Amino acid sequence: MTLAIPPEYCGVAMAATRELIRRAKPATCTSSPCPQSGLQADMLIGAGLVATVEAAAVTMGERGPAPRFVAAVRIRRRHHDGRHLPRHPRRPAGFREGPALPPPARYSGHRHVLANRPDWRVIDNPFGSDDPIIALPAIRPDIALFHCEMADAHGNLWIGRRRELATMAHASAATVATVEQIHDGDFFADETLAAGALPAAYIDAIAHVPHGTWPLAMPGFHDADAGALDAYCAAATTPDGFAAWLAKHLSGTGAA
């Protein structure tokens, strides 16, 4: 199964991630952070749920390397890089369903990335000549998982300008979201709200989980819990430390 997850500046469904770790079987998942991840990917990797990561980066940001990601690479699990090789200029290719359109790229310069991506192709730009470009296949995650501001009674989500979440939902076969609030009404009855809505047509399940991004930030609601993130980074440097941290948080005693 392939799981698409958002960057930390969007809403990361951390409460749902803890539940996923409680229930999931080991190493069943390809994680596709869109485009990068931190705590969420690191926890899923540390818990043994992830066989492959396809991402632009996995990092704890200001706190440095993602400890379980780095440890997993060390034991030679398979990880991909370079989702952000160029795509076609002037075309919002993203990773939506449809042809992954060609970028300007230098074959020799990208040889290290391309050597590890047999699914990527160097072709001549069909609209030019002697113009080598790289074509990428679209990715199709099974499930997009994220947390956003609101859901309404009709199953629509409100994501505001966090359009990465829309791209994830469009690309994925199914979308599961947790939300801060339930809106009493219909986003599509109000043009202002409709502009930031993600239609129910893309959504398969919604759960009302206030503070569902903890300990990560939820923009507009709360900041990240710096103390909790520091504690994670300190604990997760060793497998035993990570296991103890996870046990504490899965039992619910570590959550705010």
Partner 1 sequence: MSEASRTEFLIATLARLLAGSRRVAVGAQSPIPGSSAFLAQALDLGPRQVTVLGSRRNNDFTEGGRELFDRAAQGRIDAFFLGGGQIDGAANINLVGIGNYPQGKVRFPGSFGSSYLYFLIPRVILFREEHTPRTLVETVDFISAPGTSPANVYRPGGPTALVTGRCVFTFDRDQERFTLTSTHPWSSTQEVRDETGFAFDEPEVIPVTATPDPAMLTMIRGPVRDRIAETYPAFAASLTVV
Residues found near partner 1 in the complex (CB under 8 A)? 7-9, 35-36, 55-59, 61-63, 65-66, 69-70, 73-74, 76, 78-79, 81-82, 84-92, 94, 103-106, 108-113, 116, 130-133, 161-167, 219-220, 223, 226
For residue 134, the surrounding DSSP H or E stretch is strand 132-135
Q: Which is nearer to partner 1, 132 or 254 (CB)?
A: 132
Q: For the chain, where are the E strands, in sequence order?
A: 2-5, 29-33, 36-37, 50-54, 57-58, 78-80, 121-124, 132-135, 143-152, 157-158, 174-183, 197-198, 205-208
Q: Which is nearer to partner 1, 51 or 250 (CB)?
A: 51
Give the whole-angstrom CA distance, residue 75 versus residue 3.
22
Give the whole-angstrom CA distance, residue 235 versus residue 230.
9
- 57 DSSP β-pair partners: 36
Q: Which is nearer to partner 1, 188 or 221 (CB)?
A: 221
Q: Which is nearer to partner 1, 18 or 87 (CB)?
A: 87
Collapsing DSSP to helix, strand or coil, 121 comes out as strand
- 175 DSSP β-pair partners: 144
Q: Which is nearer to partner 1, 166 or 203 (CB)?
A: 166
For the chain, what is the radius of gyration of the CA atoms? 19
